[in-house]
Amino acid sequence: MRCYKRGMHHTTQHTRKITASAHEKTTHGTLEVLEFSEQGRVKRAWIMALKCLGATALCVLIPVAHFFLVPLGILVVTPIMTIYTFRMKTKILSASIICPACNKPLAVLTSQEQYPIYENCSSCHRQITLTQAA
Ligand SMILES: [Zn+2]
């Protein structure tokens, strides 16, 4: 476990033991996961809110479309993205998992760490179920 100190906020990196299964075959691997502290999540949510408002501000320059893009940006996109970012407690950084069906490395595209995770293998296109190993 490594710790990143970013000012007052800190985010920790964890390695999770993972069981990958497909068609009654299983393999074991690991996921590198970032875990955000409460302050870290608040900070990320603020940055997201500012990015959304910044994008909304640019929409002011678009003739006609700004009549609906600007309210949509302020009332819909900004709150949804801000809440979504705040609720995100963890983020998957990378994976070292071998596909149980074809023995090729499995790319994990999911960023939310919520088990079970379903991933489609890019080599054999089978659906792989990832669960946290005990
Ligand atoms: Zn595969």
E strand or H helix that includes residue 26: strand 25-36
Residue owning tokens 């489609």: 120
With b for 16 or more beta-carbon neighbours within 10 A and e for fewer, the 77-106 pattern comes to: ebeebbeebbebbbebeebebebbbbeeeb
Instruction: Calculate how far, in angstroms, residue 88's C-alpha sits from the geometric centre of ligand 1.
Output: 29
How far, in Å, CA of 123 to CA of 97, rounded?
13
- Say how many domains are in the chain: 1
pLDDT in tens, 63-110: 999 999 999 999 999 999 999 999 999 999 999 999 999 999 999 999
Neighbours of ion ligand 1 (CB under 5 A): 99, 101-102, 121, 123-124
Q: Which domain holds residue 55?
A: 2-132
The answer to whether the predicted template modeling score (pTM) of the entire model surpasses 0.75 is no
Quote the ligand 1 centre to 119 CA distance (angstroms). 10
Burial (CB count within 10 angstroms: exposed 0-12, middle 13-18, buried 19+), residue 125:
exposed
CB 82 within 8 A of CB 61: no
Ligand 1 centre to CA of 107 (Å) is 10
What's the 91 CA to ligand 1 centre distance in angstroms? 23
